[in-house]
Each structure stands twice: as C-alpha cells, then as structure tokens.
C-alpha cells in the first residue's frame, strides 16, 4: 500500500501481484504552495487575483464607476429575475421589475444610500417592495393574482412562494 492509500500491486490484473513500475503510471500533479503574499513559492509568479467583493463594487459605484455597476448586474441579475418571475404573470413583466430594481439600487447607491454589504438580500427585498408598490397601481394586472393577498398578510413572500421568498427577513 502506498502513502496515498492505493494498492500498488496489480492484484488480479495479470495475476502476478508484481509491483507496478514508476514509469507505468502517470505522475500525480500537486499544485505549488503559495506564500502569504499571494505568490507561488516555487515560481514567484502572482496568484490569480480574486474578483472584487460586492462591497468593493458598491464603493466603486458610489464613486461613479459604471463598470462596477455592470459587474454587479452580471452577478445578481439572474437571481433577481428568477425571484421577480415568482411575483409576475409573465417574463416581460419580470424583466421590467428586474430593470426597475437595478435602477432604484443604482439611484440609491449614487445618492449615498443603499447597501454596503449583503447586496443580493438588498436586491431581493427591493423586488418585493417594488412589486408591492406595483400592486397598488394599474401595474397590479401584471402581477400574479395572489400577490395582493400575500401583500395584505404583511408583505412577505411573492406569488407562488407561500413560505416567503429567498432573501427576505422572517
């Protein structure tokens, strides 16, 4: 038995039970160790850079960086759209709701408000709040029928998620 727990004998393959030679199996590749500075110990090349956190992107958005807004949209648009779809009758309205949520978030952040962290939770809560506001207007026709019932029960949850929607506080 080798150090990594594998049996090195052929044991039944070929019937000899002889040891496998070092040249017959491919060498196992082990990644290089990293030093604390983010460099690989063996090569000295920099480690792959981690993407900026949502908090970093929000800070850059406050400074007017449109690229940070695009990255934040790319990260969270699918989750926001899926959640919006539970509140709306069709995909087009869910897309409108998603666009409205991101527009309001950008406006809030540029105005000095909005999230500092927990960006996805903020966005999903904004979906619920915008849908609740739409339920009070003519846009209620585009929301699922039971949204007004759920809104009347404290505003928690959207449409087909009776136990509450993801990202909402209990």
Residue 124, domain extent: 54-152
- Number of Cβ within a 10 Å radius of residue 85: 21
pLDDT digits (tens, 9 = 90+) for 87-117: 998 999 999 999 999 999 999 999 999 999 9
Q: How far apart are CA 15 and CA 145, in angstroms?
A: 71
Query: Residue 76's pLDDT band (boundaries 50, 70, 90)?
Result: very high
In sequence order, the 6+-apart residues with CB closer than 8 A to the CB of 116 are: 55, 58
Asked whether residue 33 is assigned to any structural domain, the reply reads no
Asked whether residue 134 is assigned to any structural domain, the reply reads yes
pLDDT digits (tens, 9 = 90+) for 14-52: 555 555 555 555 666 666 665 555 555 555 555 689 999
| Residue from 82, 153, 2, 18 nearest 162 by CA | 153
Asked whether residue 7 is assigned to any structural domain, the reply reads no
The distance from CA 119 to its chain's CA centroid, rounded to whole angstroms, is: 10
Number of structural domains the chain divides into? 1
Please give the pLDDT value at position 129: 96
CATH code: domain of residue 77: 1.10.1740.10
């Amino acid at each position: 038995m080798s150090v990594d727990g594998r049996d090195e004998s052929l044991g039944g393959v070929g019937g000899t039970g002889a040891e496998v030679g070092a040249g017959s199996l491919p060498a196992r590749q082990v990644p290089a160790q990293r030093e604390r500075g983010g460099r690989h110990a063996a090569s000295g090349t920099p480690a792959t850079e981690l993407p900026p956190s949502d908090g970093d992107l929000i800070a850059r958005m406050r400074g007017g960086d449109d690229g940070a807004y695009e990255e934040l949209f790319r990260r969270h648009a699918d989750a926001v759209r899926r959640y919006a779809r539970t509140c709306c009758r069709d995909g087009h309205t869910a897309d409108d709701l998603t666009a409205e949520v991101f527009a309001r978030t950008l406006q809030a952040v540029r105005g000095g408000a909005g999230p500092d962290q927990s960006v996805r939770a903020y966005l999903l809560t904004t979906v619920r709040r915008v849908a609740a506001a739409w339920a009070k207007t003519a846009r209620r026709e585009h929301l699922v029928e039971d949204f007004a019932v759920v809104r009347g029960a404290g505003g928690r949850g959207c449409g087909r998620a009776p136990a509450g929607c993801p990202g909402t506080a209990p």
